[in-house]
């Protein structure tokens, strides 16, 4: 069983027991989160495609807290004028563990 869920403008394929990282949500660690924008749901041979979302479907997940992504280097350079700037950036993500996928009805 798996579902395709949308959050933060991005789509993720999730299944029960899986952990995945989404853009930061205003949720503390250990709190259950319900993601209701389920675009597709597959259970064995049965596939339900939403238009655009599946009515009554939701993914229940538990927040595992914030994590930092890998460091991205930002290097600015202009030729022939001795201009060089090197900085870095680490994006923060919210880590979620999928508890169950529900379909009501």
* Cβ atoms within 10 Å, residue 96: 26
* Chain centroid offset of residue 88 CA: 23
Residues 16-71: tens digit of each pLDDT: 999 999 999 999 999 999 999 999 999 889 999 999 999 999 999 999 999 999 99
The closest alpha carbon to 5, from 102, 70, 91, belongs to 102
Q: What is the per-residue pLDDT for 98?
A: 97
Q: Which residues contact 96 (CB under 8 A, 6 or more apart)?
A: 19, 20, 21, 22, 33, 61, 62, 63, 64
Q: What is the per-residue pLDDT for 104?
A: 85
pLDDT over threshold 90, residue 78: yes
The domains of the chain are located at 2-67+94-103
Q: What would the mean pLDDT of 81-96 be, rounded to a whole number? A: 97
Contact 23, 12 (CB under 8 A): no
């Amino acid at each position: 069983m798996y579902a395709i869920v949308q959050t933060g403008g991005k789509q993720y394929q999730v299944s029960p027991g899986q952990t995945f990282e989404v853009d930061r949500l205003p949720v503390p660690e250990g709190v259950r989160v319900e993601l209701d924008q389920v675009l597709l749901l597959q259970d064995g041979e049965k596939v339900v495609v939403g238009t655009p979302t599946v009515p009554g479907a939701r993914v229940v997940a538990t927040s595992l807290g914030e994590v930092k992504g890998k460091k991205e280097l930002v290097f600015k350079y202009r030729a022939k004028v001795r201009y060089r700037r090197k900085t870095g950036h680490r994006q923060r993500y919210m880590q979620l563990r999928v508890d169950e996928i529900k379909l009501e009805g």
